[in-house]
């Protein structure tokens, strides 16, 4: 201060008008957050700018992909650009050149404490029955910013604790902190502005607008994910698992060809839910409700043992028996076997399977099966309900195989096609119809993950693992190849498709380079596929050490060591437990 | 046989009459389970007659994976594992571990809790020393002193039971203080107990310290020099018996030891008797300390008032969301210990009980290293016994007071 | 906390001290290059009076974040000077497969410390004993490594022939 005065004193002329100081880094805004200099693009949010230097500003209502509401008041910070004595919401206030922001002063702490106290004032004592417990922001922030007893005297305000918004979503209005993330999501992202805030003051509730009566959107499940507390609940997941017992693995949704990135939350050898995983190029932070329920196919009606015989005559056979039975059938019809592959299988599966078709079965054409087309919309759902059609076509082309559509095969069954090898049991027509057609086949060998009418029609069903049980990749509709990670070992006696293909090739007398993992399959066979040649298989979708979204709880939080859940039942000497217990 | 022409000498030469038997060294196992040892340690002893030529100390029969267990539970859940380290004086481990965690977190516990920790630790020090002295006498054939010692120990164990709810596996104290205050009237009961303990410890002292049979067996046996003791990492009574003045309570006072008036016993021979006598003196000093601590103990809370560390009272847990959140987070995720590392030491009955703790900021320890005093002392046992008589091994093994639980973790 | 020991090491064997820092509780730590650990131990014991061997252990840094993972192991040495009432906290960082010169010749008590580190972390000591201490010789793996599974079984060890029972387990090869 004294220096300035000295400089100014000899200059009686008016001081230069107090304009904005020249930017320190042209094109960027330079400011100081908690004593650290931050250079950020203009328009960057204060919360994001603080994050880049490791200062955490807490928030409930802010979401990087939604509009700013600034109504939770949790992110208030001190800024030199603010009116003196006032705090500013970090989510809403733009960054200005030269501003000095403090996120950790007594005043800010007091503000956070007060906000937390108000938010918890009418919050029910629900942690023990709340699905969000363990991944709840109220809990996290209470321990960080409040940690004091309640001062409430008298009862809490009672609201509707179980209001069904639609078949998937339930709201517990008592738990809501009125951040309005869900309201904004439905309006801005789902483009279905059906939610609103009703009432005033402490009696405010989030509800469906009476004009709709029921939430109708294919993306309603996302409001459960973005709800920072346990107010919005997914009925499909509700009361089924405690969040801290689940482990998460980065994976992909198999519901359609969009290729939404997800986390698969699993415990033991069961998947409990899919949650969207951030990917700017494809699904942002969202996923569709149909995709969200795709995990059920992994848990239910699985083919856990290989089967031989059709319909009721089917009996479970061991792995060597299955190889033997399949080899005998294929040998008996050598040269006459048609090959059908489902685009639900991963690139690695198809690489091995097509190599098998080309080299062992000596084929030049393959038929494509797969799930029938479904509803598409202009956001995340595509009409093609198979995750890897593009990959299948790429690989077939590179292997010199002609891809023919399913109807050609369906019409030829019983006429020119007497024997069929199928990878995957998904067919784009009614399963009963196809099963009837398949009855005319004299030999029908297939790999299948789930039981269906189609598997009942096969002579030999080779039990196959799903994508969650192995490492691999899918190529989605726009040609982007993405990796998914293994969550747990294959259920039952099932094996991945690529393994079946390699073992059958070997037993048919073909000398294949033995591959011990899907990674080796990819490394060995992908260089011939131009679309996959440059794909960095090892670097994609790294596994987080700590669970994303949930405060760090290493596995084993239940007192049991990790390994129990990841690896299924341990092998205890002298005691063989049935699988899956 | 005298050669012809030599003068006959009737006196036999030194070795002439000895039967020159072929001898060979004999290997004897002491333990892992032997009536004259306490703790499952196996001593593989190579004997030349009665002299120990070589001795191998084999430990690990009681290994329980202490560190691995600790790395996979919350900071609070480590506590029961620490009971099983030095199970003769579990409170030393409990409090030592808690003190280390508290210094890693930078938490200062309430004054009253510090006094109660001192009282508990000193009670257990008396108990441990009585056990050592009693067992030593028992294994040298003196059953009476053992009974006096155990009677006094039982009295202390009763007080510990009243304080903690358990005889041996106390699991007492929590990060940030104590899980509960002393029971009503407990202090007075302790003071009365001390009178009785003083009398009984005096009996042990009288029966042993000037007993010719006892002193012949202990004086000048199991000697270790000051240099060797330091080299092996001896601490506690075993180091002080060699004349080294090192007691963590004096060197780096923790809790309220700087407010108490007590002496540190120093020996000079480094033999079994000195190690035994250090303990006799320390029992007296501990009794003195407990009396002072009870007199000075202030009223007040025994747990820090911070719901990030201390579990909230049950009525808050059941009736308020703040309480249930705090309880939930503390139980499910553990006390949040900030990332960092610390080496913290307290004086346990056998010496410096050190903890190296490393936290990665989660609710679980990243590393829990325990520097059990007995581990380093047992490492020096072979050095103390090689070249000595087999019979001296027993008192030596007694006076170093090896506790399987802490040595073998 | 006094930093006498670290200052002296820095002054007398400057190349030995790779890094020094003060932790959150205010205690000084020194990271010593592994080839200099014997010289540092000698200096500390013989000339600086750090003659009370406190303890040794190691940390497997596999699950730490980012740059702290490499090198993988951190072997800890604690030595005490009773006159100055000071504790030196030293670390030697090594990767898997690298060994550390043994300080048994300097501190007798380090034998069990080094055996512990070998037993539980698999860090070998050149010139040391490298024999298991708490686990049995037939044990496979090093259990305190972070990637050692928590659940599982070690293979069974065949029963020993009768004559070994007299000598006890683990004494195969002892001369009669």
- pLDDT score of C160 more than 70: no
Q: Searching chain A, which residue's CA lies closest to the CA of residue C149?
A: A563
Chain C neighbours (≥3 Cβ pairs under 8 A) are: A, B
CA atoms within 13 A on the CB side of B351: 36
On chain A, the residues whose CB falls within 8 A of the CB of C65 are 545
Q: Can you tell me the distance from the alpha carbon of A62 to that of A59, in angstroms, rounded to the nearest whole number?
A: 6
Say which residue, A19 or A59, is predicted with more confidence. A59
pLDDT band at A543; cut points 50, 70, 90: low
Q: State whether C23 and B342 contact (CB < 8 Å).
A: yes
Are C79 and C52 in contact by the 8 Å Cβ rule? The answer is yes
Dihedral of CA A501/A502/A504/A509: which sign? Answer: positive
Mean per-residue pLDDT for A146-159? 85
Q: Which of A37-46, B278-287, B371-380, C59-68 has the lowest mean pLDDT?
A: C59-68
Q: State whether C150 and A570 contact (CB < 8 Å).
A: no
Mean per-residue pLDDT for A245-252? 83
Query: Judging by DSSP bridges, how do beta strands A232-234 and A169-171 pair with one another?
Result: antiparallel
* B60 at interface of A, judged by CB pairs closer than 8 A: no
Of residues C29, C85, C171, nearest to B252 (C-beta) = C85
pLDDT in tens, B142-195: 888 899 999 999 999 999 999 998 888 898 988 888 988 889 989 999 999 999
Of residues C65, C150, C153, nearest to A562 (C-beta) = C150
pLDDT band at A336; cut points 50, 70, 90: confident
Q: Which of A473-482, A558-567, B320-329, C69-78 has the lowest mean pLDDT?
A: A558-567
Q: Can you tell me the distance from the alpha carbon of A338 to that of A515, in angstroms, rounded to the nearest whole number?
A: 25
Q: Can you tell me the distance from the alpha carbon of A466 to that of A456, in angstroms, rounded to the nearest whole number?
A: 19
As given in the structure block, the two tokens for residue C53 are: 């061997």
Q: Searching chain A, which residue's CA lies closest to the CA of residue C150?
A: A561
Dihedral of CA A222/A228/A232/A237: which sign? Answer: positive
A255 Cβ neighbours under 8 A, 6+ residues apart: A288, A290, A291, A294, A381, A385, A387
pTM reported for the whole predicted model = 0.80
Name A171's bridge partners: A163, A232
As given in the structure block, the two tokens for residue C32 are: 């010593």
- pLDDT score of B202 more than 70: yes
What Rg, from alpha-carbon coordinates, does chain C have? 19
- pLDDT score of A244 more than 50: yes
On chain B, the residues whose CB falls within 8 A of the CB of A123 are 321
On chain C, the residues whose CB falls within 8 A of the CB of A545 are 63, 65
Q: State whether A563 and C149 contact (CB < 8 Å).
A: yes
What proportion of chain B, given as a percentage, has pLDDT over 90? 19
A551 Cβ neighbours under 8 A, 6+ residues apart: A134, A135, A140, B333
Are B348 and B99 in contact by the 8 Å Cβ rule? The answer is no
Q: Can you tell me the distance from the alpha carbon of A277 to that of A255, in angstroms, rounded to the nearest whole number?
A: 15
Chain A neighbours (≥3 Cβ pairs under 8 A) are: B, C
On chain C, the residues whose CB falls within 8 A of the CB of B231 are 51, 53, 107-109
Q: Can you tell me the distance from the alpha carbon of B243 to that of B250, in angstroms, rounded to the nearest whole number?
A: 15
Are B178 and B117 in contact by the 8 Å Cβ rule? The answer is yes
Which of A552, A553, A563, A565 is the best residue to mutate to test the C interface, defined by the most C CB atoms within 10 Å of its own CB? Answer: A563
Mean per-residue pLDDT for A95-124? 89
Of residues B59, B367, B380, nearest to C59 (C-beta) = B367
- How far CA B402 is from CA of A331, B279, B349, in Å, comes to 73, 14, 11
Q: In what order do the strands lie in the sheet with C73-81?
A: C17-22, C28-32, C86-94, C73-81, C52-60
- pLDDT score of A575 more than 50: no
Q: What is the pLDDT of residue A183?
A: 92
Q: What is the pLDDT of residue A8?
A: 47
Are B334 and B101 in contact by the 8 Å Cβ rule? The answer is no
> By C-alpha distance, which of B101, B80, B76 is closest to B90?
B80
Q: State whether C167 and B383 contact (CB < 8 Å).
A: no
Q: Can you tell me the distance from the alpha carbon of A230 to that of A226, in angstroms, rounded to the nearest whole number?
A: 10
pLDDT band at A552; cut points 50, 70, 90: very low
As given in the structure block, the two tokens for residue C117 are: 């580190």
Task: Produce one character per residue of A443-478: b if its CB has 16 or more CB atoms within 10 Å, e if not.
Answer: bbbbbbbbbbbbbbbbbbbbbbbbbbbbbbbbbbbe
Q: Can you tell me the distance from the alpha carbon of B139 to that of B136, in angstroms, rounded to the nearest whole number?
A: 5
The burial of A527, by beta-carbon neighbours within 10 Å (0-12 exposed, 13-18 middle, 19 or more buried), is given as exposed
- pLDDT score of A553 more than 60: no
Chain A interface residues (partner B, CB cutoff 8 A): 120, 123-128, 133-134, 138-139, 142-143, 146-150, 152, 244, 546, 551-554, 556-557, 559, 561
Mean per-residue pLDDT for B226-242? 89
* C112 at interface of B, judged by CB pairs closer than 8 A: yes
DSSP calls for A517-551: SHHHHHHHHGGGSHHHHT--TTTSSPPPSS-TTS-
Q: What is the pLDDT of residue A14?
A: 60
* C151 at interface of B, judged by CB pairs closer than 8 A: no
- Closest Cα in chain C, distance from residue A61 (Å): 30
pLDDT band at A462; cut points 50, 70, 90: very high
- Closest Cα in chain B, distance from residue A204 (Å): 20
Q: Can you tell me the distance from the alpha carbon of B215 to that of B136, in angstroms, rounded to the nearest whole number?
A: 12
Q: What is the pLDDT of residue C173?
A: 45
Q: State whether A573 and C150 contact (CB < 8 Å).
A: no
Kindly report the average pLDDT of chain B as a whole number. 87
> By C-alpha distance, which of B303, B291, B97 is closest to B181?
B303
As given in the structure block, the two tokens for residue B377 are: 């002392």
What proportion of chain B, given as a percentage, has pLDDT over 70? 99
Kindly report the average pLDDT of chain C as a whole number. 82
- Closest Cα in chain C, distance from residue B341 (Å): 7
Of residues B29, B60, B338, nearest to C168 (C-beta) = B29
pLDDT in tens, B24-52: 777 888 877 777 777 788 888 888 888 88
Of residues A147, A244, A556, nearest to B306 (C-beta) = A147
- pLDDT score of A555 more than 50: no
Task: Produce one character per residue of C115-136: b if its CB has 16 or more CB atoms within 10 Å, e if not.
Answer: bbbbbbbbbbbeebebebbbbe
On chain B, the residues whose CB falls within 8 A of the CB of A143 are 308, 325-326, 329, 336
A416 Cβ neighbours under 8 A, 6+ residues apart: none
- pLDDT score of C163 more than 60: no
Q: State whether A556 and C63 contact (CB < 8 Å).
A: no
pLDDT band at A550; cut points 50, 70, 90: very low
Q: What is the pLDDT of residue A566?
A: 42
Say which residue, A544 or B20, is predicted with more confidence. B20
- How far CA B149 is from CA of A70, A270, B124, B291, B307, in Å, comes to 71, 59, 13, 20, 43
* B321 at interface of A, judged by CB pairs closer than 8 A: yes
Q: What is the pLDDT of residue C46?
A: 86
pLDDT band at B127; cut points 50, 70, 90: very high
Q: What is the pLDDT of residue A223?
A: 92
What proportion of chain A, given as a percentage, has pLDDT over 70? 88
- Closest Cα in chain C, distance from residue B385 (Å): 15
Q: State whether C52 and B233 contact (CB < 8 Å).
A: yes
The 10 Å Cβ neighbour count of residue B191 is 14
Of residues A148, A546, A556, nearest to B322 (C-beta) = A148
Q: State whether B329 and A143 contact (CB < 8 Å).
A: yes
pLDDT in tens, B318-332: 888 888 999 988 888
- Closest Cα in chain C, distance from residue A542 (Å): 14
Mean per-residue pLDDT for B211-227? 87
pLDDT band at B404; cut points 50, 70, 90: confident
pLDDT in tens, B331-389: 888 888 888 889 999 999 888 999 999 988 877 888 999 999 989 888 888 888 888 88
Q: What is the pLDDT of residue B94?
A: 92
Q: Can you tell me the distance from the alpha carbon of A93 to that of A101, in angstroms, rounded to the nearest whole number?
A: 11
Indicate the DSSP class of residue B174: B
* C85 at interface of B, judged by CB pairs closer than 8 A: yes
As given in the structure block, the two tokens for residue A423 are: 């990878």
> By C-alpha distance, which of B135, B118, B127 is closest to B152?
B127
Show the DSSP H helices in B59-110 as ranges. Answer: 66-71, 79-83, 90-105
Q: State whether A563 and C152 contact (CB < 8 Å).
A: yes
The region that residue B195 occupies, defined by phi over 0 for left and psi between -120 and 50 for alpha, beta otherwise, is alpha
- Closest Cα in chain A, distance from residue C111 (Å): 32
Helix or strand run (H / E) with residue B374 = helix B373-379
On chain A, the residues whose CB falls within 8 A of the CB of C153 are 571, 573
pLDDT band at A135; cut points 50, 70, 90: confident
pLDDT in tens, C108-140: 888 888 999 999 998 888 888 888 888 888 888
* Local structure of C28: helix, strand or coil: strand
Is the backbone peptide bond immediately before C45 cis, with ω within 30 degrees of 0?
no
> By C-alpha distance, which of A163, A55, A40, A169 is closest to A104?
A55
């Amino acid at each position: 201060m004294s220096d300035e005065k000295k400089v100014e004193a000899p200059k009686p002329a008016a001081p230069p008008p107090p304009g904005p100081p020249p930017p320190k880094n042209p094109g960027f805004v330079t400011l100081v957050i908690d004593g650290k200099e931050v250079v950020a693009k203009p328009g960057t949010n204060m919360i994001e700018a603080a994050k880049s230097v490791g200062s955490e500003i807490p928030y409930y209502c802010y979401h990087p992909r939604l509009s700013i509401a600034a109504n939770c008041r949790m992110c208030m910070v001190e800024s030199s650009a603010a009116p003196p004595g006032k705090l500013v919401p970090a989510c809403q206030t733009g960054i200005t050149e030269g501003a000095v922001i403090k996120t950790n002063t007594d005043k800010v702490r007091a503000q956070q404490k007060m906000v937390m106290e108000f938010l918890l004032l009418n919050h029910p004592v629900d942690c023990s029955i709340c699905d969000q417990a363990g991944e709840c922001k109220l809990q996290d922030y209470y321990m960080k910013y409040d940690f004091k007893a309640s001062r409430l005297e008298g009862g809490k305000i009672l609201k509707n604790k179980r209001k069904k918004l639609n078949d998937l979503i339930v709201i517990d209005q008592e738990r809501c902190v009125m951040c309005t993330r869900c309201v904004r999501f439905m309006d801005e992202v789902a483009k279905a502005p059906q939610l609103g805030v009703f009432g005033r003051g402490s009696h405010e509730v989030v509800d469906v607008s009476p004009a709709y009566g029921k939430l109708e959107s294919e993306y309603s499940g996302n409001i459960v994910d973005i709800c920072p507390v346990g107010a919005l609940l997914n009925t499909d997941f509700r009361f089924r698992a405690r969040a801290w017992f689940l482990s998460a693995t980065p994976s992909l949704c198999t519901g359609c060809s969009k290729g939404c990135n997800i986390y698969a939350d699993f415990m033991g050898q069961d998947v409990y839910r899919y949650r969207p995983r951030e990917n700017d190029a494809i699904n942002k932070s969202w996923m569709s409700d149909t995709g969200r329920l795709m995990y059920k196919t992994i848990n239910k009606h699985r083919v856990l043992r290989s089967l031989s015989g059709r319909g009721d005559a089917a009996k479970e056979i061991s792995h060597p028996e299955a190889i033997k039975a399949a080899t005998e059938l294929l040998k008996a019809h050598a040269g006459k076997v048609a090959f059908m592959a489902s685009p639900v299988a991963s690139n690695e599966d198809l690489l091995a399977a097509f190599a098998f078709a080309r080299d062992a079965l000596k084929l030049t054409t393959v038929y494509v099966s797969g799930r029938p087309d479904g509803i598409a919309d202009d956001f995340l759902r595509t009409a093609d309900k198979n995750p890897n059609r593009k990959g299948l076509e790429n690989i077939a082309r590179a292997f010199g195989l002609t891809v023919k559509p399913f109807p050609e095969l369906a019409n030829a069954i019983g006429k020119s096609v007497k024997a069929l090898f199928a990878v995957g049991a998904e067919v784009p027509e009614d399963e009963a119809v196809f099963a009837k057609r398949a009855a005319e086949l004299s030999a029908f060998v297939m790999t299948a993950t789930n039981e269906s009418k189609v598997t009942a029609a096969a002579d030999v069903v080779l039990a196959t693992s799903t994508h969650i049980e192995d490492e691999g990749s899918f190529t989605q509709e726009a040609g982007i190849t993405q990796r998914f990670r293994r969550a747990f070992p294959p259920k039952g006696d099932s094996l991945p498709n690529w393994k079946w293909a390699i073992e059958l090739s070997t037993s048919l007398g073909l000398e294949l380079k033995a591959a011990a993992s899907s990674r080796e399959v990819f490394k060995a066979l992908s260089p011939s596929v131009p679309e996959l040649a440059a794909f960095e298989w090892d670097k994609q979708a790294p596994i987080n050490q700590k669970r994303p979204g949930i405060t760090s709880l290493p596995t084993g939080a239940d007192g049991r060591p990790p390994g129990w859940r990841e690896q299924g039942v341990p092998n205890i000497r002298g005691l063989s437990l049935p699988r899956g217990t | 046989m005298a050669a012809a022409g030599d003068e006959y000498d009737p006196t036999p030469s030194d070795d002439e009459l000895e039967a020159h038997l072929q001898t060979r060294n004999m290997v004897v196992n002491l333990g892992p389970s032997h009536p004259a040892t306490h703790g499952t340690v196996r001593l593989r002893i190579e004997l030349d007659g009665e002299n120990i030529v070589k001795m191998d100390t084999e430990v690990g029969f009681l290994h329980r994976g202490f560190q691995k267990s600790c790395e996979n539970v919350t900071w609070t859940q480590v506590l029961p594992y620490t009971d099983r380290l030095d199970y003769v004086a579990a409170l030393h481990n409990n409090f030592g571990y808690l003190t280390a965690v508290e210094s890693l977190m930078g938490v200062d516990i309430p004054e009253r809790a510090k006094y109660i920790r001192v009282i508990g630790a000193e009670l257990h020090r008396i108990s441990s020393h009585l056990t050592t002295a009693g067992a030593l006498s028992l294994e040298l054939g003196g059953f009476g002193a053992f009974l006096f010692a155990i009677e006094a120990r039982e009295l202390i164990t009763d007080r510990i039971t009243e304080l903690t709810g358990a005889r041996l596996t106390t699991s007492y104290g929590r990060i940030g203080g104590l899980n509960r205050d002393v029971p009503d009237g407990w202090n007075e009961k302790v003071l009365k107990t001390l009178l009785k303990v003083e009398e009984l410890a005096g009996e042990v002292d009288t029966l042993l310290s000037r007993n010719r049979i006892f002193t012949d067996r202990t004086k000048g046996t199991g000697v270790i020099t000051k240099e060797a003791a330091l080299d092996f990492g001896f601490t506690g009574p075993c180091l002080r018996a060699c004349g080294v003045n090192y007691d963590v309570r004096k060197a780096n006072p923790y809790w309220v030891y700087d407010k108490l008036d007590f002496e540190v016993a120093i020996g000079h021979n480094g033999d079994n008797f000195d190690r035994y006598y250090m303990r006799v003196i320390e029992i007296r000093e501990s009794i003195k300390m407990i009396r002072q601590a009870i007199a000075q103990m202030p009223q007040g809370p025994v747990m820090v008032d911070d719901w990030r560390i201390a579990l909230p009272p049950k009525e808050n847990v059941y009736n308020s969301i703040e309480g249930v959140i705090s309880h939930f987070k503390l139980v499910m995720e553990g006390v949040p210990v900030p990332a960092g590392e610390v080496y913290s030491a307290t004086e346990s009955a056998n010496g410096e009980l050190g903890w190296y703790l490393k936290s990665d900021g989660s609710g679980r320890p990243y590393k829990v290293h325990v520097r059990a005093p007995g581990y380093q002392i047992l490492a020096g046992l072979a050095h103390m016994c090689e070249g000595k008589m087999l019979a001296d091994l027993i008192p030596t093994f007694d006076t170093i007071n090896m506790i399987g639980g802490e040595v073998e973790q | 906390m006094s930093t006498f020991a670290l200052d002296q090491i820095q002054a007398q064997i400057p190349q030995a001290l790779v890094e020094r820092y003060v932790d959150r509780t205010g205690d000084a730590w020194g990271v010593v290059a592994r080839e200099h650990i014997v010289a540092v131990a000698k200096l500390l014991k013989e000339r600086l009076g750090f003659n009370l061997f406190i303890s040794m252990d190691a940390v497997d840094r596999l699950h730490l974040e980012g740059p702290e993972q490499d090198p993988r192991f951190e072997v800890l040495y604690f030595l005490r000077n009773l006159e100055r009432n000071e504790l030196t906290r030293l670390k030697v960082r090594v990767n898997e497969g690298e060994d550390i010169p043994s300080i048994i010749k300097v501190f007798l008590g380090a034998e069990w410390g080094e055996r512990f580190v070998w037993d539980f972390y698999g860090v070998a000591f050149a010139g040391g004993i490298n024999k298991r201490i708490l686990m049995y010789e037939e044990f496979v793996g090093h259990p305190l490594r972070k990637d050692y599974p928590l659940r599982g079984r070690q293979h069974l060890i065949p029963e020993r022939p009768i004559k070994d029972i007299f000598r006890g387990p683990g004494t195969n090869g002892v001369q009669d």
